[in-house]
Amino acid sequence: MALDEEKRERIINAAMHEFLGGYKKASTDVIVREAGISKGLLFHYFGTKERLYNFLVDYGKEIIEREYINLLNFKFNCIFDSLWQMSLLKRDLIIQFPDVFDFLVSAYVDDTPKIREIKDNLTGHMNMQTKIIEKIHQSVDYSLFRDDVDTQLAMQIITWAVQGYSQSKITITTGEKLGATAREHYDAFLEEFQKILDMLKKCFYK
């Protein structure tokens, strides 16, 4: 972060694009050429390819926290309003930072043994989604549910449905630039997701 902002952004963008093909295949020669810097400068600041990769993961996590997690409102008493808010914030994140989104998804699925510890760290961060939903559950007004509904089981079913839908969108775009795909199709995703929420709402609410 001691680098001047313009040069740092060039390195970050070039490195994220190169790592999209996987850690093992990524070349620091390509990164320095695309960033317009010397290899000596790259290794002066980052030391190794692995440390550069770790920096990018941390950089991506900071953006997710700033532009998504920290903006979440946990005061909705309707679970479906909370989930809709999450989907809108996620759309804004993907549209504003598509390269970051692409990189983090590629890092999440990368099976290179050398970066296993980095990936474990990222996996834990990705699992924060579960913790977010748990926090949302604490503000839910359970009186909105039908009297004959097991509310805890209903909340679990809703969580499974949301997580399963999100995972399906990652799965169908494997090998593609997910950020670009999401930008192009996210309105359709939102429309489909809204139908899912409406269906669940009819099933469980009064």
Chain segment 152-170, per-residue pLDDT in tens: 999 999 988 988 887 776 6
Tell if the pTM clears 0.75, that is, is over it.
Answer: yes
Closest CA to 186 of 92, 91, 64, 83: 91
Residue ranges, the chain, pLDDT below 70:
1-3, 122-127, 169-184
Tell me the backbone φ, ψ of residue 205, rounded to 5 degrees.
-90, 160
Residue with tokens 């399963």: 164
- Distance in angstroms (rounded) separating the CA atoms of residues 76 and 125: 24
Residue 196 has a pLDDT of: 94
75: amino acid identity, one letter: K
- Distance in angstroms (rounded) separating the CA atoms of residues 165 and 123: 18
- Distance in angstroms (rounded) separating the CA atoms of residues 160 and 162: 6
Residue with tokens 């680098």: 3
